[in-house]
Chain A
Amino acid sequence: MAHEALFKPIQIGKLTIRNRVVSTAHAEVYATDGGMTTERYVKYYEEKSKGGCGLCICGGSSPVSIDSPQQWWSSVNVSTDRIIPHFQNLADAVHRHGGKIMIQITHMGRRSRWDGHHWSTLLSPSGIREPVHRATCKTIEEEEIWRIIGDFAQGARRVKEGGLDGCELSAVHQHLIDQFWSPRVNKRTDQWGGSFENRMRFGMEVLKAVRAEVGDDFCVGMRICGDEFHPDGLSQDDMKQIATYYDATGMVDFFGVVGSGCDTHDTLANVIPNMSYPPEPFLHLAAGIKEAVSVPVIHAQNIKDPTQAERILKGGYVDLVGMTRAHIADPHIIAKIKAGQTDQIRQCVGANYCIDRQYQGLDVLCIQNAATSREYMGLPHIIEKTTGSKRKVVVVGGGPGGMEAARVAAERGHDVILFEAEPQLGGQITLAAKAPQRDQIAGITRWYEMELARLGVDVQLETRADDSMIRDLQPDVVVLANGGHPFLEQVPEWGYSDNPDESLVVSSWDILSGKVEPASNVLVYDTMCEFSGMSTADYCASKGSTVEIVTDDTKPGVAIGGTTFPTYYRSLYQQSVVMTGDLGLHKVYREGDKLVALFENEYTGEHEERVVDQVVIENGVRPDESLYYALKERSRNKGQIDLEALYAATAQPTLAGSGDFALFRIGDCVAQRNTHAAIYDALRLCKDL
């Protein structure tokens, strides 16, 4: 049988999990009203259970104490009995479909922010500042230690009373328990620091208190780090020793292992490896812990593919695989494996849109699956066929918005034609995938290609749709998702011209598409500070160019999320790319066979010049609106989207009317936003088509 190891049930403590797949704890940022789980929260986990996930561990970093702030990430508040009935709803929803659910509970210690809400003074064993959150903190006192130990026990009680199947104590990500463990942070000389036993004491007292509160039959696990990757931190051998020490108590039912510490920007990027990492980069660390302990070990981190998961389990490296982002991209991954539809799994590409939003305190969303965490709004993971009339739908543009619109319309059972001017689908994803270490983002397109083929969408490549072509098709619905072009004409002094021989500057698209070769000395001017500029600089450097990337913002890449800018920085610094902030590009002119770029400092007004071979500009996308305006007047809705219906994710009223075709435009052909925005609009617009 295929995936035999994946579907082997396992016993954790007294609990039977139906398969080996876990959605591990992550901050969802969906709990509101003082940290109570919402309908959104419940539906998000219910969908995973419906999709076949064995075990969900929800509520990453759910605080047990009032001075471990909950609000920054809208995390679940386990410090009050008010949470208990909410847990019951959550447990019922997950259990209804055969899944199990636990929650991670913690005190984050210094790993938080103090400048809001209760304005809590953060705590840490030795009052050492946490760099990622720029969090200063006090040195914890004995009384506070015992209070927090008691809080853990009460938190665990609430979890149990709420009917969840267990709780996971977070001793990872430099929370309070592992702040005590790590000599990097714990400089105490009393009984809570120094020797191994002393550093272990806080965690041990927490474990004992929790066990005493919930009894032997309730599942209690620990999530630990595999190696902090700091010379003054905990090594893999230290972690094995720690795991053995706690395992020996017999009070721990399972261990979750995360490779890498995360109290610096660089190590944090390891924790949720983005697409630049190889598959399961830290499995060896988890396997090391498994060697040391007698209970099941869970490991996540870049396990996205069922075959990969099966290989890991069959090899016996760990007992359960965390496929958390895999479930964010497709909560029905298990059901699809079971139904023999592995080709239909929407696979996580490691874009880390989810986690990068979370670190900004925004709700976790998937770059490619707009239904995830919007189940409560009625956005479907499985699109039902329409019971109404079959429509002819014309989609213009094969970027993410157009592909999603075509997919959803075809799933509804309509006749769908998609026009794409380029020889392949993907739109700007195709460009993004050209950059070093970013190729996996093409997985988004690959899935759509397979789905559109499966659904029988008539995909017409290298076809630039025009007004008359569309009219001849006599469509019922036209969705324009035809994007735009690099906005180089904004500042005439940049010297951009439609004629490549005359133009002084080229676009990031020209470079990434391969249309223009990087020259030997390249200046990348990036006003956006997102992926595209950094990718262009990285691409040029990887081709051997000397590169400087300049922005008028504070620093290149500043708008990129916390788990991805470090991987760009690693690559750019390594290749000696110069990153300069605060300079606006005023003018480009030719001098001999060189180009001179004239900058003005944002704050001093002083001018600076760079003499280079090539100026590449990343200034965002200007929408292509001509087709829209050619069609607009004749359309029955004058191209207008009913926003109330759109935001409520209900059918567009114009579809019920009569007349000529309905016209909608989405994505960058309206205004530049991002992949998720285009896909989200396409889904909510077309799901009721």
Chain B
Amino acid sequence: MPTTLDTWHPGKPVSRHPDVPYEEKQRLFLEVKNDPRYEDFLYGCYECGICVSACPSARFYDFSPRVIAQAMAREDVERVYDIIAEDIWNCAQCFSCLRCPRGNNPGGLVTLLREVAVRNGLRETRDVLQGYSRVIYKVMLKGNQVSPDMLQPDFFPDWGPWVAQFSANMAVWRKAIPVDTLRGVTDAAWKTDRKTLLELYTIWFETGNMDIIKEVDEGLYDLLMDVMQEELEEG
């Protein structure tokens, strides 16, 4: 079909997510813009593309830190919603884009967009984070992102036979480390005081971090609440 005056809407962005009301997209945009860090991360854009040339995700995905800075600066509500729904989880968060001669921080903008997506429990975000829940469980309960017992061949088959060898010898290999705080520890990266973990749980509760978890994974939230509340009551 050729474009006619009836079907041509110059300057009017086409909504890629028409199921979401424009007002909702505006609300999310303002949540990002009203974050106190926003004005530290965006000063405008020269369109120079230095951020894109430095960006690892731009090489392997349809992803552009320049577009993100541009869309935010133009206050293009529709485009920003597209970015939230489709792009933000491709960022590698390496902050190579801090080379920006204008002083922008596109990686920081992505962090703000991600926070808003998580806080509002967006469907696309819940989907992306589904396979990641066990890591959140570990970091919130143990205060460590990773632990030796996470090195299982099922999860890291592409790391080679080394993983299976490690998994079979984990207990004894961990004892063969001279560092006192590591020796023998398999379910965390190091030995952490119980008091320290209780302080960490208090931080999660006091800062609203548990509400964030509830938005993305209610099952995980229930699991964490059970353990943490019991520990805090005992502690």
Does A associate with B in a complex?
Answer: no
